[in-house]
Structure 1
Amino acid sequence: MTPRIEEPLADAASWADWFRGQIPTLPLLRQSKRKIDEEATHATEINLHQLAEVVIGDPILTLRTLVQLQQSKKGETRELTSITSALMMLGIQPFLHQIHALPTVESALADQPVALKWLLSRVARARKAAHYAHDWAVLRRDINAEEVTVAALLYEINEILLWLFAPKLMFLMLSLRKRFPDHPIEVLQRKVFNTTDLELRDAAIARFNLPTILKELMNPQNAENPRTRTVLLATRLARHLGRKGWQHPKLEADIEAIEQLVHLNRELLLRRLDAPYEVWPRFGVPVPPTSESKDHPTKGNETQ
């Protein structure tokens, strides 16, 4: 049975220590387990890159894999964020054997269907942010786009782990945010968890012994760095689209900031983001001819 935290721990370090203790039995998404099990049935022909794609589509499994890699390094000082390299160093067969014995997130939260819904929405948001970050890193000719991708994927990991292990406290946080919408979120976070998201992220990265580059790429105070800004803007866009779709009032500022980051024509950027044609005028771009717009699907809001 998945352990639960009913009362807030003392501080960020205490939360990070507790999360660190759960790494060996950390569950993975049911979809990830199914895909990996399918790969395992053809273990002699397994495609390392396909396996890495499955891992990087699951923020919890990505975290687990990187932590395991840090533990397995003996005298190795080089920091790795590449999931493909991590799987090579861990060994395919040992990795598959460990995964087979792990529970799924869905089974761990079987008694908390609403919490599961929230967790899965955060996973979806993290995936979307990672997709954006990777795309923009490639546009910027980043020498290591995977670092940026992993940083964007793990930016939401605190909230994902809290929904998994402390749903009661997360529901309290939601209630307070509705009651006090004008309160700074850091104030509410400290009231509920005795720490803030930023403090917990820094503490977790240190306790998990993750590559320091991830801390740099997820640090809002390092936003002048284009690589960090890529992660932050990707996360911000994914959050805004997740809340109100293409009707979110802050999207104009998002698009302008992304345009400045990737130096891409606004029409091409909107196409790349798969923005529905009907919102283009809002961003100063005329709608294409009717014959073209008929074939373009309209995107609805995502899970909140």
Structure 2
Amino acid sequence: MSVPPAASAPSASGAPFQPLTRPLPDLSAWTAHFRDLELPVLASTAEQLELWRANEDAVDARLLGDILNKDPLMTLKLLAYATSQRSSRLLTDTETVTAALVLMGITPFFRAFGEQPTVEQRLAARPDALAGLQRVLHRAERAARFALGFAAHRADPDAEVIHGAALLHDFSEMLLWCEAPDLALEIQRRQTADSTLRSVAAQRAVLNIELGDLEQALMRAWHLPELLAHIVDDKKGLDPQVRCVTLAVRLARHTAQSWENPAVPDDLIEIGELMSLSPAHTLKLVHEVDGVI
């Protein structure tokens, strides 16, 4: 069984995949389209869940959380579902995957989340789109590691939330690759043809919206935790927690191909200012976090 339909969580439609080939008119239309979409997850996540389902007694929230935290779409799906099931008696939001699992319990989790649809199934006929999605997923994983490293250096008590926020920072772009691959590829084509074209400008031209605005609209529609939505929002740029995520995402983007990107020195200066480190010490830290030898 898939996640039950709910106004505040991604839901199961059961319908065959019909990709969008034309942009929707405005933010409201895009939000309505994605709000009730059943989110696919990574095949590796789906396979691991089925292995643990057969040995449920051996699983705890931390072990399961370690698996789910590697998959932004499964993370999003779980947090949205947990919020939809949240008791009004709880005074705080469920802001992390582990907290959601502890609150739900392992058996109810497996009962709510049956065999999962996967992005590999959805994009089986679109290897170009799958490759685009995988690039975004890899960037998100690196950004989450950078953000966690920055938060740990700053001894931020919300380090786990910051990690999750960086992992989810570009979830609307992930959903676009899954649901409208031709439009995602057109944005990519335009930026490849014009290296000065900013992402938001390309998005507005192709989609009629900015993906960051769609992300915030969906987080409100799914009633995701306020702290998480706040940290993901680049427009709250002066907040140190937001800066942790924004700079982590930027560094992951700029170093996706090479550390020789000319934007990296400026990134290091800003990261160093956030953490009170020199550029040289900042570079050493980010290389250690990224596993660069």
Same fold (TM over 0.5): yes
- Aligned counterpart, 1:223: 237
Shift of the 45–182 alpha-carbon distance from structure 1 to 2, 3 Å rule, reads closer
Task: Give CA-to-partner distance per residue, 1:124-153, whole Å, 9 cap, x none.
Answer: 110110111111111101111111111111
Structure 2 distance, partners of 1:182, 1:247, is 18
SS at match of 1:217: helix
* Aligned: 1:87 with 2:64: no
Matches within 5 A, 1:14-25: 14-22=29-37, 25=38
In the other structure, the counterpart of 2:22 is: 7
Q: Considering only CA atoms, is the larger Rg found in Structure 1 or Structure 2?
A: 1
Q: Deviations over 1:209-237 (max 9, x none)?
A: 11122232122232111111000000000
Q: Which amino acid aligns with 2:149?
A: D
Shift, 1:20, TM fit: 1.5
Counterparts in 2 of 1:126-137, with a 5 A limit?
Answer: 126-137=140-151
Following TM superposition, by how much is the alpha carbon of 1:77 offset from its aligned partner in structure 2, in angstroms?
4.6
Equivalent residue letter for 1:8: P
Q: Could you list the structure 1 runs, at least 4 aligned residues long, displaced by more than 6 angstroms after superposition.
A: none
In the alignment, structure 1 residue 141 sits paired with structure 2 residue 155: yes
Aligned 8 A contact 1:67 1:209 in 2: yes
The structural deviation recorded for 1:62 is 0.6
Task: Name the CA shift for 1:77/1:113 in 2 (closer, same or farther; >3 Å).
Answer: same
Is residue 87–residue 95 contact of structure 1 (8 Å, CA) maintained in 2? yes
Between the aligned partners of 2:255 and 2:194, the Cα distance in structure 1 is 23
Partner of 1:208: 222
Whether the 8 Å CA contact 1:28–1:58 is kept in 2: the answer is: yes
Alpha-carbon distance between aligned partners in 1 of 2:286 and 2:120, rounded to the nearest angstrom: 30
Q: In structure 2, give the amino acid aligned to 1:101.
A: E
Q: Report what 2:169 is aligned to.
A: 155
Amino acid at match of 1:115: A
Structure 2 residue aligned with 1:108: 122
Deviations 1:260-295 (A, max 9, x none): 2122455543333227xxxxxxxxxxxxxxxxxxxx
8 Å CA contact 1:134–1:148 kept in 2: the answer is yes
Determine the structure 1 residue equivalent to 2:81. Answer: 68
After superposition, the CA RMSD in angstroms is 2.0
Distance 1:90 1:195 in 2: 35
Structure 2: tracts of 5 or more residues without a match? 1-15
Mapped partners of 1:131, 1:12: distance in 2: 31
SS of equivalent residue, structure 1 residue 246: coil
**1:263 equivalent among 276, 281, 284:** 276
Residue 114 of structure 1: SS of its match in structure 2?
helix
Give me the identity figure in percent. 29
Structure 1: which amino acid aligns with 2:269? E
The alpha-carbon deviation at position 3 of structure 1 amounts to: 3.4
Specify every segment of 5 or more residues in structure 1 that has no aligned partner in the other structure, as ranges. 276-295, 299-304
Secondary structure at the counterpart of residue 223 of structure 2: coil
Alignment match, 1:50: 63
How much does 1:184 deviate? 4.2
Q: Secondary structure at the match of 2:117?
A: coil
Residue 13 of structure 1: how far off its partner (Å)? 2.2
Instruction: Give the 3-state SS of the residue equivalent to 1:177 in structure 2.
Output: helix
> Where does residue 33 of structure 1 map in the other structure?
46
**TM-score, normalised by the number of residues in structure 2:** 0.87
The one-letter amino acid of 1:70's match is: T
Residue 6 of structure 2 is matched in structure 1 by: none
SS of 1:80's partner is coil
Tell me, in whole angstroms, the C-alpha distance in 1 between the residues paired with 2:78 and 2:48: 16
Query: In the alignment, is the contact (CA less than 8 A) between 2:46 and 2:115 conserved in 1?
Result: no
Higher helix share: 1
The DSSP-based 3-state class of the residue aligned with 2:157 is coil
AA aligned opposite 2:30? W
How far is the alpha carbon of 1:160 from its aligned partner?
0.4
Separation in 2, partners of 1:151, 1:9: 27
Matched, 1:273 2:273: no
Q: Distance in 2 between matches of 1:201 and 1:233?
A: 18
Matched to 1:261, the amino acid is L
